[in-house]
Amino acid sequence: MARLRDCLPRLMVTIRSLLFWSLVYCYCGLCASIHLLKLLWSIGKGPAQTFRRVTREHPPACMNDPSLGTHCYVRIKDSGLRFHYVAAGERGKPLMLLLHGFPEFWYSWRYQLREFKSEYRVVALDLRGYGETDAPRHRENYKLDCLITDIKDILDSLGYSKCVLIGHDWGGMIAWLIAICYPEMVMKLVVINFPHPNVFTEYILQHPAQLFKSSYYYFFQIPRFPEFMFSINDFKALKHLFTSQSTGIGRKGCRLTTEDLEAYIYVFSQPGALSGPINYYRNIFSCLPLKHHMVTTPTLLLWGEKDAFMEVEMAEVTKIYVKNYFRLTILSEASHWLQQDQPDIVNKLIWTFLKEETRIKD
């Protein structure tokens, strides 16, 4: 009997693990079936249109706008990877490091590069696998440990020991993890539309609405097919994400210009450009939940209430994981792409947070 009691906790962990992975793979199969039906429907309506793809050899002019900063590269010694970033503001000023989400790249921070360069050395990074940054081929190269180490090594390579760290979506996930693992590196943390990682993993298993909104996490587990689905109809899915009424930018704020949208399509239409970003998702279920999860850095969480991918309730729960000053601001009518959707308001909120004195909670 005593032996049974000792084995019971391990048995429960095993059962939970089996149920979790059964859910992952069942939902993965369901999502794949739905997307396959969409593909067949598209081919039936017009096969030529479905497989049409415009060749884009040159980036649009907006990506080389000198007002955004200077294009730079840094090679990390340990990994050997070369990272691309755009930097604005004088060297020697405090570092503000900007981490983008999916499917984005450094350009999603164009409003912040212009805004904060007066007082900061602002660096907008292309994360591992994105844009002009090197993209390792194997999915194992996109585990969370690799992504966290990238940011630590980049900070060292830039000659800084700490920074103001700002992340959106996947960049927000990485920013949370940096603040948890290397709190001494983060002076202040700003996260946009991504909850604390543990909140996300717990919430998604308990709330069917969030499970449905995160269906693409499961679809992305399939090899190659998601990349193909993104590329059909000349990257119609990518255009839809940024411009549709349900998920896009600009319900009440800024809208992407034709040139802005073309910048995104140019980056992700390059050969192999989608595999690296989607590999982030192919590793996420093996890395969460976290063993260490408390954040001790002053934190600002900004949230677009009309986020089509994240339930706003997760933002409220996040505060229990921050053992320091924490402020949450929810912007009504704002989308998931908050720093592009409402840049003036977002910039003002960040300025206020950066300039105010914060103290550790008792």
So which residues are the catalytic ones? 169, 281, 336
Cβ count near 344 (within 10 Å): 11
Q: Are residues 98 and 339 in contact, defined by beta-carbon separation less than 8 angstroms?
A: no
Query: What beta strand segments (E) does the chain contain?
Result: 70-75, 82-88, 95-99, 121-125, 163-168, 186-192, 299-304, 326-331
Q: Are residues 154 and 265 in contact, defined by beta-carbon separation less than 8 angstroms?
A: no
Name the token pair of 175: 């920013």
> Phi/psi of residue 264, each to 5°?
-65, -45
Question: From the centroid of its chain, how far is CA 86?
Answer: 18
- Using a 10 angstrom Cβ sphere, with 0-12 exposed, 13-18 middle and 19 or more buried, the burial of residue 177 is buried
Cβ count near 276 (within 10 Å): 21
Phi/psi-derived region of residue 165, left when phi > 0, alpha when psi is between -120 and 50, beta in every other case: beta
Name the token pair of 49: 């249109």
Closest by CA position to 268, among listed 226, 304, 310, 309 = 226
Phi/psi-derived region of residue 89, left when phi > 0, alpha when psi is between -120 and 50, beta in every other case: left
CA dist list (Å): 92 to 85, 112, 119, 158, 185: 17, 18, 10, 10, 16
User: What DSSP designation does 359 have?
Assistant: -
**Residue 346 β-bridge partners:** none
Q: Are residues 276 and 134 in contact, defined by beta-carbon separation less than 8 angstroms?
A: no
Helix H or strand E segment including 178: helix 170-181
